Structure 1
């Protein structure tokens, strides 16, 4: 990870409130209890300090195995790359004021939800949509980029990525393309 050059040096961005992650489980009587109250296990500065990612949770497998806390251990011990093959990733990203991501494509279904701010979602076709808090996108493997339209305040989005089968468009296999984001999503799982 390169040293941040932009305004974001930690999670959360300085002008956004801290977010909290609550994880539940069961006590000995089988009742629901909160077992985690924190801000996530994995934070990563991205795009030379123009953004920061916070992994809320990640899973592996088509069906998540919660027995013996296997899912908790996986989420804690593995910081995923862009997505988890055969699994899922929930990631908050804080974007610096006016920040525009490089164009990219993950080979996943990406649910994007604006939490705070105003964003422009642009596709490689030239089409774009403005998204406000509560707006959601479902990106099905398309090349895209995000821009925080507020030039004075950071914005926050939640992304949930689900792995997909190999995908063909017009008979051609579509490949993941991270471009300038490739280093930011290097696999650091251990």
Structure 2
């Protein structure tokens, strides 16, 4: 299990509007629910929406109610169906051996917007191309085979990601090299 003191908890907030049209906050569990927790990283589930040809339905809190249902089951949605969305925060422990760590190569049928929040992460593609991404950097991943690794031996690294399911997406499907 990841060292929770090394991977500080985050908080998240969900907004909406009341019957008079004024903005308001809705209930959100803090810290967020943990989607994945292993010795080197933690993925916090933030929110997800179900697939729809017209996008999320905010009327009558339909998306919020669906999200509450998702929170009551596992696994939570990291990789949505076509037309759906998901938001997560991934936190990486310091990496004692970044030179020999290859990361975890995978892909999903999603369009991902990844925002580096803390630290430095190396993004590697199956072509062998690499980019070092630092706080404030953004990557748009278009269903590409990739891996992430923390480059620091002493500091955590963290990104936030919003994933949008594309045509052919299967719920929470991760595709590994050679599949």
TM-score (norm 1): 0.76
Q: Does 1:129 align with 2:124?
A: no
Aligned partner of 1:74 in structure 2 is: 66
In structure 2, which of residues 33, 40, 53 is the aligned counterpart of residue 50 of structure 1? Answer: 40
| Aligned-partner SS, 1:49 | coil
Distance 1:74 1:40 in 2: 20
In structure 1, which of residues 33, 53, 75 is the aligned counterpart of residue 24 of structure 2? Answer: 33
Q: CA deviation at 1:81?
A: 4.2
1:41-120 correspondence to structure 2 within 5 Å: 41-46=32-37, 48-62=38-52, 63-78=55-70, 79-86=75-82, 87-98=84-95, 101-120=103-122
Q: CA deviation at 1:17?
A: 4.0
Distance 1:88 1:39 in 2: 21
Q: Is the 8 A contact 1:121 1:130 kept in 2?
A: yes
Map Cα deviations across residues 13-53 of structure 1 (whole Å, 9 max, x no partner).
4234432211111223211112235435521333x321111
* Count of matched residue pairs: 162
Q: Runs of 4+ in structure 1 displaced over 4 angstroms?
A: none
Q: Unaligned regions of 5+ residues in structure 1, if any? A: 168-174, 180-190
Q: Is the 8 A contact 1:108 1:163 kept in 2?
A: yes
TM-score (norm 2): 0.80
Q: Unaligned regions of 5+ residues in structure 2, if any? A: none
Q: Is the 8 A contact 1:80 1:89 kept in 2?
A: no
